Structure 1
């Protein structure tokens, strides 16, 4: 299992557009990919799950992946976070 933490620095947090980008980034991977924030964990392949977390600025999120392409899935999430200027 691979995991990585990110701090959300965007004033808007993770709203609908970046949430969609994150979900789209991991949907092609076979690994199970989860997002944890605010004490809750959801499937990162579910837009409704991601939106339900209400991730705002200053929130630390943990992305975890388990499966044969777990490393690539985490890298894809990191690329979206950088591209969308969500955090570091």
Structure 2
């Protein structure tokens, strides 16, 4: 299992538009990805409602996990997205 810790750069965290962009990207990576908050709650990263339910704010650290072929590349792609202020795209 591949795992990556990332600090959320979006100025409003993973709410509304940033959460939508992230969930859409997670759905496209080709492997199942889980997003976990610092509190330990974990959701399917491709689920917009799941991502929103975590209430992740700016500067919070999250953990991405995935299994299977391409898991490392998928996590790298999603981590890069989280390291970007998605409110400015």
TM-score (norm 1): 0.83
Measured after TM superposition, the shift of residue 25 of structure 1 is: 1.3
Q: Is the 8 A contact 2:19 2:52 kept in 1?
A: yes
**Aligned residues, how many?**
86
1:73: which partner in 2?
A: 74
Partner of 1:12 in structure 2? 12
Name the structure with the higher strand share.
Answer: 1
Measure the CA separation in 2 of the matches of 1:26 and 1:79: 12
Point out where structure 1 has 5 or more consecutive residues left out of the alignment: none
Q: TM-score, normalised by structure 2?
A: 0.82
Contact kept in structure 2, 1:34 and 1:63, CA below 8 Å: yes
Q: Alpha carbons of 1:9 and 1:83: their partners in 2 closer, same or farther (altered >3 Å)?
A: closer
Deviates more, 1:45-54 or 1:16-25: 16-25
Q: Which runs of 5+ in 2 are unaligned?
A: none
| 2:74 match: secondary structure | helix
Cα RMSD of the aligned pairs, angstroms, is: 1.9
- Runs of 4+ that moved beyond 4 A: none
